[in-house]
Amino acid sequence: MADTYDFGLVGLGVMGQNFILNVADNGFTAFGNDLDPEKVKALIKLGGDENKINASVAVTEFIKALKTPRKIMLLVPAGKVVDIVIESLLPHLDEGDIIIDGGNSFFTDTDRREAYLKEKGINFFGAGVSGGAKGARKGPSIMPGGSRDAYQHVKPIFEAVSAKYKGEPCVTYLGPKSAGNYVKMVHNGIEYGLMQLTSEIYDLLRKAGSLTNEELHKTYALWNEGRLQSFLVEITSKIFEQKDEFGNGNLVDQILDKAKQKGTGKWTSQNAMDLGIPVPTIDIAVSMREISALKSERIKADELYDRPTPESFDKKELIVKAENALYFAFIITYAQGMHQLADASKEYGYELKLTEIAKIWRAGCIIRAALLADIADAFKADENLQNLLLSTYFVEKVQETVDSVRELVAYGAKNGIPLPGLSNALTYFDAYTSTRLPLNLIQAQRDYFGSHTYERLDRKGIFHTEWGL
Ligand SMILES: NC(=O)C1=CN([C@@H]2O[C@H](COP(=O)(O)OP(=O)(O)OC[C@H]3O[C@@H](n4cnc5c(N)ncnc54)[C@H](OP(=O)(O)O)[C@@H]3O)[C@@H](O)[C@H]2O)C=CC1
Ligand SMILES: O=C(CO)[C@H](O)[C@H](O)COP(=O)(O)O
């Protein structure tokens, strides 16, 4: 059994178990490891043939079973556990072995781990995986970064197990250092934005148009056949038809309206702030999960204030406008995420190719959408495109949908329906496309109270005024 397996995987939980079975399905032999003997047993049983897929709780047995250079993927919870697992593997590894962190690790942790392991002759790289349990099993989108040479050893396995878009694997080497984890982080930031927008439109449809769950199911299903075709719209349509197993109508109506988060959306926002890149639709999606968590305060506050009863909206007209609005806001969210990737790439030296990123997101991942093929084309047509909103293709798409957004945002404000993602996307658009913003006044105020100086429109140089004299 020594030195026989092609691929090792530590962490046989939701992602790990599915990923390793996918590896075996694609003709590679694989060996798993987990602290939990039940998970080890379960994998061996599911694998069916121990020569093809095997597992052990013992790290020594796990390491011995792998062909060199060993290719070991970690799918364990992000944070300290990754360091603990690395330390447990290290004494048994040989120079040239490869550790791949497939989890949602924070990108600076990946840089630290890569530098630490390089000193010991071990290759380390981060490879974000997206697609949830089903994706891991049937074909995820994989976002590897780190050593290009080390990636070559894993490339055939990753290309075989990844999702395919029209035959093209949804994986490619993205760049050095933590490029893979960074791209996965922004993927999740975009995911937060799209989820927030999808839920706001649901709120609007049920409150303004009185759509039933059955109508919501049909509406999202229909949208999923058009330009909004995407994994999130597809699962949303399915969610509305799920019955509650306790017999209380539809399950969605029984789910507590407090959204949890594991950190990747917040990190996207925090890092965008650090780099000075505006991603307000992602920021507000994170804030909305935080507001949702304040359930008991929300209940108290609701009792203190009157709220308008929503005026009814013609159902057919509302559905058309809501589809326009969701399409518009999806474009804006991707535009913000791609902008963040472009600027981060310069800052961290990742040399990211946005076309390639859009291409590997076209299938397998949570934010897969028909729109991504158009986004890939836009970056292909202009490699230096600073923002999707500057692409001719998207100018037309945004132009034909923005009026619906204006109308719905105004309706929401007047009728007390919170649409923060939608209004934020609109505000971002209006601000980004304004030649003049009122921030000249902010510069004047800063100079007034703090002598912070300002620049002028009509001449070059840095100026200060003794205001009010
Ligand atoms: N779930 C999802 O949809 C997605 C998750 N991810 C990321 O993938 C990673 C894994 O997530 P997920 O599979 O959901 O997590 P799970 O908690 O389901 O699985 C993690 C597994 O790692 C095991 N583990 C913990 N410590 C060790 C150790 N020292 N040695 C060996 N095994 C260990 C756990 O065992 P035990 O339970 O006994 O502690 C568990 O079986 C995370 O970084 C997550 O953010 C990425 C994309 C999608
Ligand atoms: O990476 C993922 C999807 O792409 C994971 O499902 C992640 O847990 C989602 O983030 P959160 O739990 O914060 O909603």
pLDDT 10s per residue in the chain (469 long)?
Answer: 678 999 999 999 999 999 999 999 999 999 999 999 999 999 999 999 999 999 999 999 999 999 999 999 999 999 999 999 999 999 999 999 999 999 999 999 999 999 999 999 999 999 999 999 999 999 999 999 999 999 999 999 999 999 999 999 999 999 999 999 999 999 999 999 999 999 999 999 999 999 999 999 999 999 999 999 999 999 999 999 999 999 989 999 999 999 999 999 999 999 999 999 999 999 999 999 999 999 999 999 999 999 999 999 999 999 999 999 999 999 999 999 999 999 999 999 999 999 999 999 999 999 999 999 999 999 999 989 999 999 999 999 999 999 999 999 999 999 999 999 999 999 999 999 999 999 999 999 999 999 999 999 999 999 999 999 7
Domain shared by 419 and 454, yes or no: no
The reply to whether ligand 1 has any atom less than 6 angstroms from the CB of 58 is: no
Residue 191 Cβ < 6 Å to ligand 2: yes
Residue 324 marked in a binding site: no
Please report the atom of ligand 2 found closest to the CA of residue 188. 4
Distance 161 CA to ligand 2 centre (A): 20
The last residue of one of the domains, among 154, 177, 200, is 177
**153 annotated to bind ligand:** no
CATH at residue 27: 3.40.50.720
* Closest ligand (CA of 72): 1
Q: What is the C-alpha separation between 55 and 32, in angstroms, rounded?
A: 4
Residue 2 domain-assigned? no
Q: How far apart are CA 220 and CA 382, in angstroms?
A: 33
| Ligand 1 geometric centre to CA of 415 (Å) | 43
Contacting residues for 263 by C-beta, under 8 A, at least 6 apart: 78, 104, 106
Q: Does 211 lie in the same domain as 138?
A: no
Residue 469 alpha carbon to ligand 1 centre in Å: 65
CATH of the domain at 371: 1.10.1040.10
Q: Is the pTM of this model over 0.90?
A: yes
Ligand 2 site, residue 101, Cβ cutoff 6 A: no
8: annotated binding-site residue? no
Residue 1 lies in a domain: no
- Same domain (yes/no): 232, 338: yes
Say if ligand 2 is within 6 A of residue 262 CB. Answer: yes
- Shared-domain flag, residues 421 and 445: no
Residue 384 and residue 467 in one domain: no
My answer on whether omega of the bond before 69 falls inside 30° of 0, hence cis, is: yes
Helix or strand holding residue 368 (H, E): none
Crossing angle for the helix pair 315-348 and 179-208, to the nearest 10 degrees = 160
CATH number at residue 453: 1.20.5.320
Distance 37 CA to ligand 1 centre (A): 15
Helix (H) or strand (E) holding 127: strand 123-130
Please indicate, yes or no, whether residues 204 and 329 belong to a single structural domain of this protein. yes
Range of the domain at 394: 184-432
230 and 367 in one domain?
Answer: yes
Domain final residue, candidates 177, 210, 227: 177
* pLDDT confidence of residue 271: 98
- 130 a known binding residue? yes
| Residue from 75, 262, 266, 365 to probe ligand 2 pocket by mutation (most atoms less than 8 Å from CB) | 262
Whether residue 197 sits in one domain with residue 114: no
Atom of ligand 2 nearest to the CA of 128: 1
Q: Which of 131, 151, 177 is the last residue of a domain?
A: 177
Among all ligands shown, which has an atom nearest to the Cα of 33?
1
Whether the predicted interface score ipTM is above 0.85: yes
Q: Which amino acid does the sequence have at 247? A: G
Contacts of 323 (CB under 8 A, 6+ apart): 223, 226, 228
Round to whole Å and give the CA distance between 454 and 284.
30
455, 416: one domain: no
- Residue 259 falls inside a structural domain: yes
Q: What is the number of structural domains in the chain?
A: 3
Is 427:402 a contact under the CB 8 Å cutoff? Answer: no
188 annotated among ligand-binding-site residues: yes
Please tell me whether 131 is known to bind a ligand: yes
On whether both 392 and 467 belong to a single domain, the answer is: no
Residue 448 lies in a domain: yes
Helix axes 14-25, 148-161, angle to 10 degrees: 80
Contact 130 CB / ligand 2 (< 6 Å): yes
- Which residue's CA is minimally distant from atom 8 of ligand 2? 262
For residue 245, being part of any structural domain is answered with: yes
Per the domain annotation, does 312 fall within a domain? yes
Residues forming the active site: 184, 191
User: For ligand 1, what atom is nearest to the CA of residue 11?
Assistant: 22
In a domain, residue 254? The reply is yes
CA of 188 to the centre of ligand 2 (A): 7
Same domain, 173 and 196: no
CA distance 227 to 207: 24
115 part of a folded domain: yes
293 and 329 part of one domain: yes
294 C-alpha to ligand 1 centroid (Å): 28
Give the pLDDT of residue 272: 98
Sequence-separated (6 or more) residues with CB below 8 Å from residue 46: 17, 21
